[in-house]
Amino acid sequence: MGGVSPGAKRRVGVLISGRGSNFQALIDAAKAPDYPAEIVLCLSNKADAYGLRRAEDAGIAAAVISHRDFQSREAFEAELTKALEAAEVELVAQAGFMRILTRSFVQHWRDRLVNIHPSLLPAFPGLDTHARALEAGVKLHGCTVHLVREEVDTGPIIGQAAVSVQPGDDPDSLAARVLEAEHRLYPRCLRLLAEGKVTIAGDRALLPANPGGKKSDTSGPLICP
């Protein structure tokens, strides 16, 4: 991430496919003058994604790049990278982006590509996480922000937020509570990444144990209330 003067805001591109409520949470957080990142581009693979309206309302440049217009995943992703790099994006945040990314995209953006997933990973990777959590009878569910690796829903965990499963919960009620937690968690994790406070050690992300601590004084993922 060279070429950026210390203290400058990191330039973030957000990938969406739909509603974009996490995108909105990042937009709102980035309005704070001391937030270390600015969202400079939104890319959607769906022309009808509601998140595109959010970009317009916020005055953020946006484009639709439909995977259907490309012969291969690699060609689609090359177009994403081209648009991101044209906007001088440094960090890429997936926010409900419903395409599986290939190795070459993940490698290109390694440690600069972050995702939010609606479960406490490594539990329940993939889809239908809330129904599966209820089916499994877990008492704690939640969400995870992680750096993206090749295997779906893997990668160093930056932060997690836990949500209690309540008697009578159905997938929708549980999803709604997890989504509130997602909106708290994602801006905090992006802040840590943008501030350069995430160190990668093998498969794990290490964070400063406390804000005033020494650089060598590290701990695991952020636990978000």
Binding stretches for ligand GRF (CB under 6 A): 18-23, 95-96, 116-118, 143, 179, 182
Q: Which CB atom, from 58 or from 179, has the smaller least distance to ligand GRF?
A: 179
* Residue among 36 and 118 whose Cβ is closer to ligand GRF: 118
CB of 100 to ligand GRF, least distance (A): 12
Residue recorded with tokens 């090359």: 78
Active-site position among 67, 108, 117, 146: 117
d(CA 130, CA 23): 21
Minimum CB–partner distance for residue 51 and ligand GRF (Å): 6
Q: Give counts: helices (H), strands (E), the chain.
A: 6, 11
Q: Is 108 a catalytic residue?
A: no
Q: 24 or 77, CB closer to ligand GRF?
A: 24
Least separation, in Å, of the C-beta of 68 and ligand GRF?
20
115 or 194: CB nearest ligand GRF: 115
Asked if 96 contacts 90 with a C-beta cutoff of 8 angstroms, the reply is no
CB of 129 to ligand GRF, least distance (A): 8
Token look-up 């581009």 returns: 41
> Burial code of 170-207, b = ≥16 C-beta within 10 A, e = fewer?
eeeebbebbbebbbebbbbbbbbbbeebbeeeeeebbb
- The answer to whether the beta carbons of residues 186 and 160 sit under 8 Å apart is no
List active site positions: 117
